[in-house]
């Protein structure tokens, strides 16, 4: 620890964001970079505490606490403070293949378990991480490092999201020949089409994919194993197969009127928007300081001029709000079945658990700036979709709910009589989470499922019931964070490597 009194002398400071009114005028990332002297000062706030809870990820009360990829956080915070940026980058890459992704989109459970955060604002771990890798790229320190020796073994990775890419990087580094199959037209999975540009610019994804390709990884797009590429061919042509296809089956809302036009799953909306944006190449035409209106492109599902209702919270719901704002929606509401979180930790949510407190994420902040209030309505659910003469949705009947214990002691939502009301809705986006992986590939391979429909494969071995076939990421563990996907991809790579080399884990 270079400055023992840093946490006493220096206040937490994060990078400023462009104003909501400006940033909804384009599809650029919206964080301003911090000057180096301020970044070094933030590194000095790290206490080098006796037990750094920040760097050891675990699950507490079902939520991530600490860093799931075990980033050596106190070490690189100290190196930032000392101005040893290249050494900090080396320490960061020891545990995290893609800090440019996690430094942008991770909710930072590390900060929730920061020891300083017990009674002071925590260390700015996430922004420090992003600053290290961004400086590494700007200085030319991040270069392809292909393996010097090849094993001759061939591995197929199905799915190019964070788990698949992390596994591919590790397996390629071990000398195996790796082919990554992706059903979409671009590599990146969730990183490419599931997270909007303002949070993660696709140039950042493409830059890393290009590095991986230069290191020897083969990428095959527009190829869905089990559909236009036979599953049995995969087993014949490769020595091992790793399935990292994600948990992409969305949770539906089967209430009256669900068949009306204008009701879509959130990922339909987000994926179509990003694809249209990238295909149009308008991002190359962005004005430097925003614009009165975002650059024009034709999205398959547009929120322009519409009353938009997002059903569900979480990151996906926020991304729907932010995207609809950039489409220039007429108004927006977000229905959240859970209660409004408190401003500070509740007694039943102690440190080092993830703090369940009220926050305005970027999408809600933009909606509040435009329309005067947080668009979220808490303890509310949709009861019925109402359509017009053209069979298009025009409004939603909502009802207030309260959480009560059932006869098994479980909290369940109950409707509150007399709280029904109708809200306008020209476009409804369902962002209520995901139920598990899709069926096609798993059925074709005969893969066993667990009780939650995920691939049945034990954490640590990642082996399925089919010899030589492994699984990792959301496909195995269920819907989770990008950082957990990277953790699983790295772990699965170790398991696959052990299988190929007959090494005990």
pTM greater than 0.85: yes
Whether 286 is covered by a domain: the verdict is: yes
Q: What is the pLDDT of residue 282?
A: 53
Considering the domain architecture, whether residues 181 and 129 belong to the same structural domain is answered as no
* Range 287-292, long-range pairs (CB < 8 A, 24+ positions): 287/26, 289/22, 290/18, 290/22, 290/23, 290/25, 290/26, 290/28, 291/25, 291/26, 292/25
pLDDT of 14-27, one tens digit each? Answer: 999 999 999 999 99
Considering the domain architecture, whether residues 47 and 187 belong to the same structural domain is answered as no
Give the CATH number, domain containing residue 126: 1.10.1060.10
Q: What is the pLDDT of residue 300?
A: 85
Q: What is the pLDDT of residue 48?
A: 77
Q: What distance in Å separates the CA atoms of residue 319 and residue 189, rounded to the nearest whole number?
A: 16
Given 401, 432, 463, the domain boundary residue is 432
Residue whose token pair is 């990642």: 462
Give the CATH number, domain containing residue 457: 3.50.50.60
Q: What is the pLDDT of residue 118?
A: 94
What is the tally of structural domains in the chain? 3
Blockwise average pLDDT, block size 10, the chain, 505 residues: 86 94 94 94 92 92 92 96 97 98 96 95 97 98 97 98 98 98 97 96 97 98 96 96 97 97 98 94 47 61 97 95 97 97 94 95 97 97 97 98 92 95 98 95 96 96 98 96 97 98 77
Q: How far is CA 334 from CA 27, 199, 238, 377, 482, in A?
A: 21, 19, 46, 6, 24
Do strands 393-405 and 411-415 pair parallel, antiparallel, or not at all (unpaired)? antiparallel
Residue whose token pair is 């001759």: 152
Considering the domain architecture, whether residues 173 and 83 belong to the same structural domain is answered as no
Whether 148 is covered by a domain: the verdict is: no
Task: Return the axis-axis angle of helices 73-81 and 125-138, rounded to nearest 10°.
Answer: 60
Q: What is the pLDDT of residue 4?
A: 87
Output the six-digit token pair for 112: 């929730």
Q: What is the pLDDT of residue 107?
A: 94
Q: What distance in Å separates the CA atoms of residue 404 and residue 220, rounded to the nearest whole number?
A: 50
Q: What distance in Å separates the CA atoms of residue 248 and residue 438, rounded to the nearest whole number?
A: 6
Q: What is the pLDDT of residue 286?
A: 41
Whether 206 is covered by a domain: the verdict is: yes
């Amino acid at each position: 620890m270079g400055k023992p009194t840093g946490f006493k002398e220096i206040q937490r400071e994060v990078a400023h964001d462009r104003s909501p009114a400006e940033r909804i005028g384009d599809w650029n990332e919206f964080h301003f970079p911090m000057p180096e002297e301020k970044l070094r000062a933030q590194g000095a706030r790290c206490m080098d505490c006796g037990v750094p809870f920040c760097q050891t990820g675990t699950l507490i009360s079902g939520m991530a606490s600490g860093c799931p990829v075990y980033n050596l956080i106190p070490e690189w915070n100290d190196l930032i403070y000392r101005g040893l940026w290249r050494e900090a980058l080396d320490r960061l890459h020891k545990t995290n293949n893609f800090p440019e992704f996690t430094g942008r989109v991770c909710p930072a459970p590390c900060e929730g378990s920061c020891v300083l955060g017990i009674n002071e604002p925590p260390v700015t771990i996430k922004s420090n991480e992003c600053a290290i890798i961004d400086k590494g790229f700007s200085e030319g320190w991040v270069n392809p490092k292909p393996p010097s020796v090849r094993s001759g073994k061939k591995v197929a990775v199905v799915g190019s999201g964070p788990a698949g890419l992390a596994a591919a990087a590790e397996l390629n580094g071990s000398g195996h020949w790796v082919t990554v199959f992706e059903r979409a037209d671009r590599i990146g999975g969730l990183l490419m089409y599931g997270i909007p540009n303002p949070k993660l610019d696709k140039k950042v994804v493409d830059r890393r994919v290009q590095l991986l390709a230069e290191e020897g990884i083969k990428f095959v797009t527009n190829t869905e194993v089990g559909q236009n590429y036979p599953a049995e061919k995969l087993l014949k042509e490769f020595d091992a197969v790793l399935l990292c296809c994600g948990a992409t089956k969305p949770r539906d809302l089967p209430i009256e009127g669900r068949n009306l036009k204008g009701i879509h799953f959130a990922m339909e909306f987000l994926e179509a928007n990003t694809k249209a944006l990238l295909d149009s190449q308008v991002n190359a035409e962005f004005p430097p300081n925003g614009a009165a209106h975002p650059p024009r492109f034709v999205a398959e599902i547009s929120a322009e001029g519409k009353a938009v209702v997002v059903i569900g919270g979480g990151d996906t719901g926020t991304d729907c709000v932010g995207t609809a704002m950039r489409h220039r929606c007429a108004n927006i509401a977000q229905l959240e079945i859970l209660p409004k979180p408190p401003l500070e930790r509740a007694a039943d949510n102690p440190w080092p658990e993830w703090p369940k407190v009220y926050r305005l994420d970027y999408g809600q902040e933009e909606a509040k700036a435009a329309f005067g209030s947080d668009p979220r309505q808490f303890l509310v659910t949709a009861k019925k979709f109402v359509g017009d003469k053209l069979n298009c949705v025009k409004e939603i009947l909502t009802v207030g709910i309260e959480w009560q214990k059932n006869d098994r002691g479980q909290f369940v939502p109950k409707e509150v009589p007399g709280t029904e009301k109708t809200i306008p809705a020209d476009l409804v986006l369902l962002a209520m989470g995901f139920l598990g992986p899709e069926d096609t590939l798993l059925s074709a391979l005969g893969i066993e499922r667990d009780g939650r429909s995920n691939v049945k494969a034990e954490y640590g071995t990642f082996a399925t019931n089919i010899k030589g076939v492994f699984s990792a990421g959301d496909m195995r563990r269920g819907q989770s964070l990008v950082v957990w996907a990277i953790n699983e991809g790295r772990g699965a790579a170790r398991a696959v490597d052990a299988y190929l080399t007959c090494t005990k884990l």
